[in-house]
Chain A
Amino acid sequence: MKVISMFLKLLSLARFEHAREHWVSQRTTSVAVVLLSLWFAYQLLFVLPSFSHAEVFSWASDPLNAIILLLFSLYAIYHAELGVQAVIEDYIATEQLRTYTLYFLRFLRVMVVVISFASIGWMINSGEVVPV
């Protein structure tokens, strides 16, 4: 059950976290983001041969790279939402405005989650670009 609830949180399918839960998630996601961002920096500096579409596409659609890219995006925006949530709760006094701002924040995060899933999912699945 704990794994499922962690998974739902990562997919932004869980309620806003508070107090101890928020504190713990902020730290666990930070460790994930440290590892994933080091991987990304390493890829940029030492693996990715150029920024041409052909090279970037074959790099990003490699299943292992694709999964790590997706995890990086999901963990980064999860960690960011926890951080921005804390800023909003500190600096917006009006309860109603605070709630609306938090939902707007969640909306933005869901957009990132959907775009990341759709693009990575498409690339792994078809190995081709989306026909536009």
Chain B
Amino acid sequence: MNAKKQPLSPHLTVYRWQITNTLSILHRLSGLVLFLAAFDFAIWLGSIALGGEVYAEVKHFFSSNILLIIWALVSLSFFYHFLNGIRHLLWDIGKGFEPSHVKLTGLLVVFFSVIITALFWYCLLTKFG
């Protein structure tokens, strides 16, 4: 590991807040939320394998009110990270670098991540009530 010679990244407070760096920071924050959600996914898989009683307890815990707020946050993080990730992949192949495009795709990502999250929950709640 070449940790010794690496410089420390400037902290968040040095930046002037604008759409580009705000979305970049949100990409990391949503990524961290999804990192935590990956554990819930593993716990869910484990509870399915462990049978009806364990599953019922985990399901009861996962569907408590406070957890539902967290699932809303997780799904919003997911759709945001998903769409913004595609924006990053497009940059990686050299597309969309002009400042006007960066701003436009950024706003589109925010707009559609909210819309898709709402649509997702609408479908989920209609199906499972």
Q: Are B9 and A112 in contact (CB under 8 A)?
A: no
Sort chain A's interface into a size bin: 35 or more
B1 interface hit (Cβ, 8 Å): yes
Out of A53, A76, A87, A108, which one reaches B56, CB within 8 Å?
A: A53
Q: Are B9 and A90 in contact (CB under 8 A)?
A: yes
> What 1/0 flags go to A96-129 for Cβ under 8 Å of B?
0011000000001001100110111011000001
**Which chain B positions have C-beta within 8 A of A50?**
128
- Closest partner residue, chain B, to A16 (CB atom): B1
Q: Are B45 and A120 in contact (CB under 8 A)?
A: yes
B51 interface hit (Cβ, 8 Å): yes
A54 to B52, CA, bound (A): 8
A34 to B1, CA, bound (A): 30
**Which chain B positions have C-beta within 8 A of A27?**
89, 92
Sort chain B's interface into a size bin: 35 or more
Q: Are A115 and B2 in contact (CB under 8 A)?
A: no
**Chain B binding site: helix, strand, loop or mixed by DSSP?**
helix
Q: Are B82 and A34 in contact (CB under 8 A)?
A: yes
Q: Are A80 and B34 in contact (CB under 8 A)?
A: yes
**Which chain B positions have C-beta within 8 A of A87?**
28, 31-32
Given A18-B1, A89-B6, answer yes or no on A60-B82 (Cβ-Cβ < 8 Å): no
Q: Are B85 and A30 in contact (CB under 8 A)?
A: yes
**Which chain A positions have C-beta within 8 A of B38?**
73, 76-77, 80, 112
**Which chain A positions have C-beta within 8 A of B14?**
none
**Which chain B positions have C-beta within 8 A of A84?**
31-32, 35
A18 to B1, CA, bound (A): 8
Out of A73, A98, A122, which one reaches B49, CB within 8 Å?
A: A122
Q: Which residues of B1-20 are within 8 A (CB) of A?
A: 1-4, 6, 8-9, 11
Task: Pull 16 A–B residue pairs with CB atoms less than 8 Å apart, ordered by A.
Answer: A18-B1, A18-B2, A34-B82, A37-B78, A44-B124, A45-B120, A89-B3, A91-B11, A93-B8, A98-B3, A99-B1, A116-B42, A116-B45, A118-B46, A119-B45, A123-B48
